[in-house]
Amino acid sequence: MSNNKKVLILGGGFAGVDAASYLRKEKYDVTLVSDRDYFYIYPTSIWVPTGRAKFEDVCVDLKELQRAHGFELIVDGVVDIKAATKTVTLQSGKVLEGYDYLIFAMGASKMKPKGIENTLSICGDPKQSLEIKDALDALVKKGSGKIAFGFGGNPKDTSAVRGGPGFELLFNVHHMLKKKGVRDNFELTMFAPMAKPGARMGEKSLAMMDKMFTRSNIKKHFGTKIKSFEKNAVVFADDTKLESDFIMFIPAGDGHEVIKASDLPLNEAGFIKINDYCEVEGMEGIYAIGDTAALEGPEWRAKQGHLAELMAKNTAFNIIAKDAGLNERKGYQEHINILCVMDTADGAGFVFRDDKKAFMIPMPIFGHWLKQGWGKYCRLSKLGKIPRIPGM
Ligand SMILES: Cc1cc2nc3c(=O)[nH]c(=O)nc-3n(C[C@H](O)[C@H](O)[C@H](O)COP(=O)(O)OP(=O)(O)OC[C@H]3O[C@@H](n4cnc5c(N)ncnc54)[C@H](O)[C@@H]3O)c2cc1C
């Protein structure tokens, strides 16, 4: 059944899937386009490289989500956008037009430092989580080695830096090697160009992370810019090298290439400029949500999944209110916070920051199960099999 208003959503991640499900509840005629045929639960993908989760465990088939919510699904890549006329061209050549609303939810691209092909990332193409697993398995088989994990910055938009999953995966690898009884044969190093990576979580969290590094015998290489990557080394701006048999590197987010080539208004890094209601500046009926949008707010703001979901919910509300002739709108900026259960395989740290407080609470053992439970909740609630918990 339809209310005769047509919405085109580009992207099938946290932002796109939630926008589709909320709008379908109000009988909007929703079409969702994604270049992958699955929704990827990035937060629990950190367990794929160590074998704690299978790749399928962190994927939800978009066809299943389509059946649950009743949207039209097109699995195809967006290659061209003319926002002024709400016209979208797909890789197959198909042209989509005639929509009342357009919602951009295509996530971000990544910065490409020199030699990036010598690294793998837990935050890029989902399939790389399996390649990381293969690389780690090969090193374990070899019996010893040096492993370097790091992340980079984007000076044009600090909200696009993503370090948390790097810390999580590193602690999980430490734990895996310990369990296999080979930890002492491996040198683990975390590297980042910032002097205090993770500083936006707040000073208390930083101090706690530092203790965790010492306790786990993880070396740190912080505060020197990264120049490039070689096959077995990270090269820094001062031409020193960090030798490594395997490099996992998370480049900072950058504006999506297709969006950068469009007529959408962008910030310096290529993210779409929006107002508090996720409306794209100067364009009627066009919204941008999740990682693809330029976030406004405190300097520690970060692109996160729960914020993507909130932006999706607000956007659906704002569209419904607009069509009902109501003046009420919901903004995202007052809800900006950092919220993360940072997994360490044998527990987790609950990290929270808003404009009033910043803390990290250690949660031995239970924290790990909490994050696992959240992964199951995420799948089932997205499929509409269990109700959504408010705020989650
Ligand atoms: C390893 C990892 C762990 C994380 N942990 C947490 C956490 O604990 N808590 C938290 O809040 N956040 C976490 N995040 C961040 C969170 O996952 C992101 O903020 C969230 O995924 C953003 O959702 P999105 O829908 O905007 O983008 P994405 O999830 O990136 O989705 C983008 C969608 O667009 C599609 N797409 C891209 N390009 C095209 C194209 N050209 N044509 C068609 N479709 C396209 C993609 O296939 C995908 O479906 C983590 C991220 C990573 C990578």
Pocket test for ligand 1, best of 8, 10, 14 (most atoms within 8 A of CB): 14
Please give the number of the atom of ligand 1 that sits closest to the Cα of 290.
26
Share of the chain above pLDDT 90, in %: 94
Ligand 1 atom having least distance to the Cα of 293: 26
Is the shortest distance between the CB of 38 and ligand 1 below 6 Å? no
Does ligand 1 come within 6 angstroms of the Cβ of 15? yes
330/103 Cα distance (integer angstroms)? 16
Evaluate if residue 367 carries a pLDDT over 70: yes
Q: What is the pLDDT of residues 309-361, one digit of tens each?
A: 999 999 999 999 999 999 999 999 999 999 999 999 999 999 999 999 999 99
CA pseudo-torsion sign 348, 349, 352, 353: negative
If you measure from the C-alpha of residue 106 to the centroid of ligand 1, how many angstroms do you get, rounded to a whole number? 8
The yes-or-no verdict on residue 173 having pLDDT over 80 is yes
Q: Can you give the pLDDT at residue 392? A: 82
pLDDT at position 391 is 78
| Backbone φ, ψ for residue 13 (5° rounding) | -100, -155
State the pLDDT confidence band at 204, using cuts at 50, 70 and 90.
Answer: confident
Provide CB contacts within 8 A for 225, sequence distance 6+.
Answer: 193, 236, 237
> With a 6 A CB cut-off, is 57 part of the ligand 1 pocket?
no
Chain segment 226-238, per-residue pLDDT in tens:
999 999 999 999 9
pLDDT digits (tens, 9 = 90+) for 280-319: 999 999 999 999 999 999 999 999 999 999 999 999 999 9
Is the pLDDT reported for residue 271 higher than 70?
yes
Helix (H, G, I), strand (E, B) or coil at 35: coil
Tell me the C-alpha distance between 262 and 121, whole Å: 27
Cα 324 to ligand 1 centre (Å): 31
Average pLDDT for residues 40-65, to the nearest whole number?
Answer: 98
**Percent of the chain topping pLDDT 70:** 99
Between CA 295 and CA 201, with CA 275 as vertex, the angle to 5 degrees is: 25
Tokens 């949660």 -> residue: 363
Residue 33 Cβ < 6 Å to ligand 1: yes
**CA 9 to centroid of ligand 1, rounded, Å:** 14
- Which atom of ligand 1 sits closest to the CA of residue 124? 53
Ligand 1 center to residue 211 CA distance, Å? 30
What pLDDT is attached to residue 298? 94
Q: Please give the average per-residue pLDDT across 239-249, as a whole number.
A: 98
Q: State residue 205's pLDDT score.
A: 85
Residue 2 has pLDDT above 90, yes or no: no
**CA of residue 241 to ligand 1 center, whole Å:** 32
Q: Which two tokens stand for residue 172?
A: 């999980």
Residue nearest to atom 51 of ligand 1 (CA): 42
Regarding the beta carbon of 258 and ligand 1, being less than 6 Å apart is answered yes
Q: For a pocket test of ligand 1, which of 42, 48, 332 has the largest count of ligand atoms closer than 8 A to its C-beta?
A: 42
Model pLDDT, residue 90: 98
Q: At what angle are helices 14-25 and 305-323 packed, to 10 degrees? A: 30
In the structure, what pLDDT confidence band is assigned to residue 1 with cuts at 50, 70 and 90? Answer: low
- Residues 249-275 have a mean pLDDT of 98
What is the rounded CA–CA span in Å between residue 8 and residue 335? 26
pLDDT per residue over 131-160, tens digit each?
A: 999 999 999 999 999 999 999 999 999 999
Ligand 1 close to Cβ of residue 308 (< 6 A): yes
For ligand 1, say whether the CB of 77 is within 6 Å of any of its atoms.
Answer: yes
As a whole number, mean pLDDT of residues 194-210 equals 88
Distance 271 CA to ligand 1 centre (A): 14
